[in-house]
Chains A and B, each alone.
Chain A
């Protein structure tokens, strides 16, 4: 199950099997139970129907039988009554069980709950960690870190079209509807990296709109939060300094933010700690220097239709920019 966070960080994007049948939280567990229950009942019903069909084929009616005879009518009426008497309670049990599951999925004990805002964009996830103290609020993208065992309330919103938040190992789907505030409760009971994706068709790159949920120990989570709250590192290396200038003076700064620099646009993902993330372009690419270079120069080949334009950078500028972005741990 647990692939080991340290090993997975940066070098490879090893995440746990993305499956509803492999739950790690109370919501996903109860959903899986409901699925197994429904499956079992459906199998029993299927066997019964096929059995009845075979029985009817075997005991075929003879030509002398009169289907209109009073004796046969009474028999048919009795059969229908028994069938209804069985089906209605079974459906009622389904209904009650479904309600029970919905209660588990929708409710989470209050207390030290972590609240995260997730906003869907075409085609990436904006993530904001709320805090009562304004300067403790920080922004990231496409990667949600949560502490193991602590309930998390994710507030959902959309910037453009309808998206849907779905991390199968943690919970069911919930739509992000423009102009409509909604939330979803999750809790991860085991550490691991769980992949999620947009589950509502949202345009050209819907398939490449993924995210990772990293469930880690409370200590590791606190360290991560402390790091994220820091402004971007000031580069010391001369190449990285040049890269920062490229970022601030070129087209990057038209859309992206790097805290503590002149770049403060909110159109694209916040890049303050981009080097610490496992993936680029919403789970499309592993975060490596080569992938980053390809993505910056020609995103339209990797993710056609993405809102990031191609960037004409001279080789020296590109290398400087890469050197700078790699310092943003």
Chain B
């Protein structure tokens, strides 16, 4: 026979479990107004930390959207609407270099990809400065990184809306970036 003490401990722990359970289901945030409209995209990323005159506090170059499924899906929408897919295709590359492999010519760090999109790169990559907002570019950064599995598979789409010849992002094995930080080609 179960003692009343044992039973009350059991009931209490069940109650505690129910109280704590919602804390485990932390929902990700959907930020629509992350950057205030006055936040000018100019000067977001600097190639060098040295600067003449008094130092200006640089805008954060840390990706605000690591592991954010909403930002990633918005990035995916922009990837096609802004015609990234025109050159990079759906990550496999064509006119531009592939984005789903482990080879990063200008670095795989979020701030490096941000710079690549904002400033453009030699031999064809256009500069989107003044054409896209900082927030949109960070969303693109999150999606571009997810193409090679750098953002974790849990936030990626498990199903494409269209016909697709490669496995979806959740099934791809993450790539380990090589030659990061070393502009080689």
Contacts and interface: CB of A to CB of B under 8 A. Distances in A.
User: Which of A178, A300, A307 has its CB near the most chain B CB atoms (within 10 A)?
Assistant: A300
Interface residues of A, number: 18
B33 A304 contact: yes
B137 to A, nearest CB: 10
Contacts of A45: none
Interface string B129-151: 01111011000000000000000
Contacts of A267: 81
Given A297-B37, A300-B33, A305-B30, A255 B81 contact: yes
A250 interface: yes
A254 B36 contact: no
A136 interface: no
B132 A310 contact: no
Nearest to B39: A312
A309 interface: yes
Interface in B85-120: none
Nearest to B35: A310
A33 interface: no
A312 B41 CA distance: 8
Interface size range on B against A = 20 to 34
Nearest to A253: B131
Q: Is the interface of A mostly helix, strand, loop or mixed?
A: loop
Interface in A277-308: 297-298, 300-301, 304-305, 307
B12 interface: no
A245 B119 CA distance: 21
Contacts of A305: 30, 32
B61 interface: no
A300 B82 CA distance: 20
Interface string A227-269: 0000000000000000000000111001100000000000100
Contact of B37 (A178, A254, A307, A311): A311
Contact of B133 (A178, A301, A304, A311): A311
Contacts of A297: 37
A310 B131 contact: no
A309 B130 CA distance: 12
Nearest to B133: A309
Given A305-B30, A312-B41, A251 B35 contact: no
Contacts of A254: 82, 131-132
Contacts of B39: 312
B40 interface: yes
B149 to A, nearest CB: 26
Given A312-B37, A312-B41, A300 B32 contact: yes
User: Which of B37, B40, B82, B161 has its CB near the most chain A CB atoms (within 10 A)?
Assistant: B37
B33 A310 contact: yes
B58 interface: no
A310 B30 CA distance: 16
B50 interface: no
B25 interface: no
Contacts of A310: 33, 35-37, 133, 135
Contacts of B133: 251, 309-312
Nearest to B162: A179
Nearest to A265: B81
B41 to A, nearest CB: 7
Contact of B38 (A251, A300, A312): A312
Nearest to A122: B77
Nearest to A255: B81
A298 B133 CA distance: 12
Those 10 A-B pairs whose CB atoms lie nearest each other, nearest first: A310-B37, A309-B133, A300-B33, A300-B32, A304-B32, A298-B37, A267-B81, A312-B40, A297-B37, A251-B131
7 contacts: A178-B161, A251-B130, A251-B133, A298-B33, A298-B37, A309-B133, A312-B38
